[in-house]
Copies of this chain bind each other. A is one copy, B any other.
């Protein structure tokens, strides 16, 4: 059992998160405990690092670096957005064999799970003994099979915090600029936009309106919804998914038309569009925030739950591979009951590869402008504890003088 079976290769892919390095460190630290594993190699910029044979020797990293990486956002090995071609797979397997890679871990989303699945299958078909395991990661939370995805909880904590803080600001500004839009990441899945609802302590707290790509909504409804809250409270805070669709299923706002390497249209522009529409309709000043990549990289707001789970899925992946598994993804399964607890299981990679998991209908309210209690119950534990307590003045009015 003390014989080295081969080398380990690990990479990070797709959009970074605030906790993705926890998965990397989990893989490395677990690997160091298994004598079967020889070299621990990192792919520099994901699959591109394999194609270019650019590898980092991770056994040479200090334990202090590894511990500090757990606090460090974004993908420490570098990441990539590159659509692997059929010809590439042959080349990938050839490189794996040349470097005697027997354990392969790819930390990523749907596309990366597909890549890992195809490599696992190719190795099987060629009789090459490879243990390939997908490690889930995405702030979009759109992977199937797993209850939720590492990276999502921290991004959710950030957007809830951000919209609460900008909501207090918007209340304070009153008539000066009473309408606030915040554009939230999520091309097709609205999980992160939905998570802004965790900012609410009372029904009148921001965000007052939440629009997800899963539920098309007419521009007229958005105007009417915003007018309702503006007239009721004197201000209105709106969370809008970057991938919002109108009631005909068309993207709202023009976008910039960019397309990424996978052919996904890069969205954007929905708040610019709604900005014009709502100013005109409500006759009120409007401001918007586009926190952009801060949503996935703001390490100050790592969710402790998310951080730990990201670490554990890395460790679990190595244990599964050493135990003989391949072509699997580590999935997080929530235990039933009111107390939050999870188990880690292995799922067939083809169940997650290229499948997008959308916010289900029961998590979206009837009007399509907010979320349900069931969603809040789902999401609340993932952000790792309540947001810090804030206060509002009671504002006991002074009696007006009578002359």
Q: Please give the residue numbers on chain A whose beta carbons come within 8 Å of chain B beta carbons, in ascending order.
A: 12, 16, 18, 39, 41-42, 44-45, 53-58, 60-62, 64-66, 68-69, 71-82, 98-99, 161-162, 165-166, 168-176, 180, 258, 260-261, 285, 287-294, 296-301, 388-398, 400-401
Do B291 and A294 touch across chains, with their CB atoms under 8 A apart?
Answer: yes
Do A397 and B261 touch across chains, with their CB atoms under 8 A apart?
Answer: no
* 9 closest A-B pairs by CB: A289-B292, A68-B391, A74-B168, A55-B398, A72-B390, A75-B172, A74-B172, A169-B297, A165-B297
Do B390 and A172 touch across chains, with their CB atoms under 8 A apart?
Answer: no
Do B393 and A74 touch across chains, with their CB atoms under 8 A apart?
Answer: no
Of the candidates B62, B72, B287, the one whose C-beta lies within 8 Å of that of A292 is: B287
> A64 — which chain B residues lie within 8 A by C-beta?
391
Do B289 and A76 touch across chains, with their CB atoms under 8 A apart?
Answer: no
> A75 — which chain B residues lie within 8 A by C-beta?
172
Q: Which residue of B lies closest to A62 (CB)?
A: B394
Do A291 and B289 touch across chains, with their CB atoms under 8 A apart?
Answer: yes
Q: Which residue of B lies closest to A296 (CB)?
A: B169
Do B287 and A290 touch across chains, with their CB atoms under 8 A apart?
Answer: no
Question: A79-B172, A168-B74, A294-B166 are contacts. A65–B393 as well, Cβ < 8 Å?
Answer: yes
Q: How far is the CA of A300 from the CA of B180 in the complex (A)?
A: 20
* Most chain B C-beta atoms within 10 Å of own C-beta, residue among A78, A391, A397: A391
Do A16 and B65 touch across chains, with their CB atoms under 8 A apart?
Answer: no
Q: How far is the CA of A175 from the CA of B299 in the complex (A)?
A: 23
Do A294 and B300 touch across chains, with their CB atoms under 8 A apart?
Answer: no
Of the candidates B71, B162, B176, the one whose C-beta lies within 8 Å of that of A261 is: B176
Do A54 and B397 touch across chains, with their CB atoms under 8 A apart?
Answer: yes
Of the candidates B65, B78, B175, B397, the one whose C-beta lies within 8 Å of that of A171 is: B78
Do A73 and B393 touch across chains, with their CB atoms under 8 A apart?
Answer: no
Of the candidates B42, B173, B296, the one whose C-beta lies within 8 Å of that of A79 is: B173
Q: How far is the CA of A103 from the CA of B216 in the complex (A)?
A: 55
Do A73 and B168 touch across chains, with their CB atoms under 8 A apart?
Answer: yes
Q: How far is the CA of A351 from the CA of B32 in the complex (A)?
A: 65
Question: A54-B397, A300-B161, A388-B71 are contacts. A78–B16 as well, Cβ < 8 Å?
Answer: no
> Could you list some 9 contacts between A and B, CB below 8 A?
A55-B397, A73-B165, A77-B393, A82-B176, A99-B398, A166-B294, A258-B285, A290-B291, A291-B292
Of the candidates B16, B298, B389, B397, the one whose C-beta lies within 8 Å of that of A162 is: B298
Of the candidates B69, B166, B292, B390, the one whose C-beta lies within 8 Å of that of A166 is: B292
Q: How far is the CA of A393 from the CA of B57 in the complex (A)?
A: 10
Do B292 and A74 touch across chains, with their CB atoms under 8 A apart?
Answer: no
Do B165 and A56 touch across chains, with their CB atoms under 8 A apart?
Answer: no
Of the candidates B69, B170, B174, B296, the one whose C-beta lies within 8 Å of that of A391 is: B69
Q: How far is the CA of A377 from the CA of B393 in the complex (A)?
A: 38
Q: How far is the CA of A2 from the CA of B305 in the complex (A)?
A: 55
Q: How far is the CA of A266 from the CA of B332 in the complex (A)?
A: 47
Do A176 and B285 touch across chains, with their CB atoms under 8 A apart?
Answer: no
Q: How far is the CA of A300 from the CA of B294 in the complex (A)?
A: 14
Do A293 and B166 touch across chains, with their CB atoms under 8 A apart?
Answer: yes
- Shortest distance between the CB of A175 and any CB in chain B (Å): 8
Q: How far is the CA of A176 from the CA of B260 in the complex (A)?
A: 8
- Shortest distance between the CB of A307 and any CB in chain B (Å): 13
